[in-house]
């Protein structure tokens, strides 16, 4: 797994960051838009996630003008129970890692297996807390944790907001590229949004 800890996004070194905020609107028609901010409010990632596309693929940009591609996220399958997503550097094509959603296991609690560029399992992301109750009462706030090598490297917590969905992401130092950690967090939130839209 590429360490990439000195990589910069919009002039911000992700090696020095440990707190992020992800926001998206409550409702979407053709796409979900996610924005990732640093603790001081600087936009570092912008994602337009399409809703009506057979093979899921989207870019992560460093700006809202979509002029600076950062990551490419692409599903390996069109139809599957356990979807796998490859996360690559948009500039070099380097594979940073892959994320596999455990479809059947995610019925009661979302779970994603994290793989390194060679396909070896190195960790997982999992929904925390009262996952089953959240499926019955969507107003309950969500929480996800990301683990690599047995250690928790990120915690994603939803904040209550009236007109938007907002999540905090707190990370810890790890050998994993921090861009990949944020991509895993985004895929977890996309999975949650897809489940909510299916109601």
Share above pLDDT 70 across residues of the chain, in percent, rounded to a whole number: 83
Question: Confidence class of residue 93 from pLDDT cuts 50, 70 and 90?
Answer: very high
* CA–CA dist 86, 33 (Å, integer): 20
pLDDT of 4 over the 50 cut: no
CA 1 to chain centre: 17
Residue 3 within a domain: no
Write the CB contacts of 65 (distance below 8 Å, at least 6 apart in sequence): none
State the pLDDT at residue 10: 56
Mean pLDDT, range 158-164, rounded to an integer: 89
Residue 2 within a domain: no
Residue 112 within a domain: yes
197/49: higher pLDDT: 49
In the chain, how many domains are there?
1
State the pLDDT at residue 46: 95
Residue 18 within a domain: yes
Residue 1 within a domain: no
Residue 27 within a domain: yes
Residue 37 within a domain: yes
75/144: higher pLDDT: 144
* CA–CA dist 96, 85 (Å, integer): 11
Domain span holding position 108: 8-197
CATH of the domain at 78: 2.40.160.200
Closest CA to 70 of 127, 3, 7: 7
Mean pLDDT, range 95-100, rounded to an integer: 96
pTM of the model: 0.86
Tokens coding 192: 């949650």
State the pLDDT at residue 159: 94
* CA–CA dist 130, 93 (Å, integer): 38
SS3 18: coil
State the pLDDT at residue 50: 79
State the pLDDT at residue 53: 62
* CA–CA dist 143, 157 (Å, integer): 5
- pLDDT per residue over 78-90, tens digit each? 655 568 999 999 9
145/25: higher pLDDT: 145
On average, the pLDDT of the chain sits at 85
């Amino acid at each position: 797994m590429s360490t990439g800890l000195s990589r910069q996004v919009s002039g911000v070194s992700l090696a020095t960051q440990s707190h992020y905020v992800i926001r998206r609107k409550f409702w979407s028609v053709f796409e979900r838009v996610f924005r990732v901010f640093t603790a001081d409010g600087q936009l570092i990632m912008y994602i337009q996630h399409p809703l009506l596309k057979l093979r899921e693929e989207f870019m992560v940009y460093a700006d809202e003008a979509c002029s600076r591609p950062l990551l490419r996220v692409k599903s390996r399958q069109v139809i599957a129970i356990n979807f796998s997503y490859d996360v690559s550097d948009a500039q070099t094509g380097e594979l940073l890692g892959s994320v596999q959603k455990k479809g059947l296991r995610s019925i009661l609690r979302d779970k994603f297996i994290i793989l390194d560029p060679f396909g070896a399992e190195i960790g997982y992301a999992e929904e925390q807390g009262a996952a089953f109750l959240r499926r019955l009462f969507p107003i309950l706030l969500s929480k996800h944790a990301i683990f690599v090598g047995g250690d928790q490297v990120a915690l994603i917590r939803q904040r209550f907001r009236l007109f938007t969905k907002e999540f905090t992401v707190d990370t810890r130092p790890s050998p994993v590229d921090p861009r990949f950690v944020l991509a895993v967090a985004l895929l977890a939130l996309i999975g949650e949004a897809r489940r909510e839209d299916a109601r």
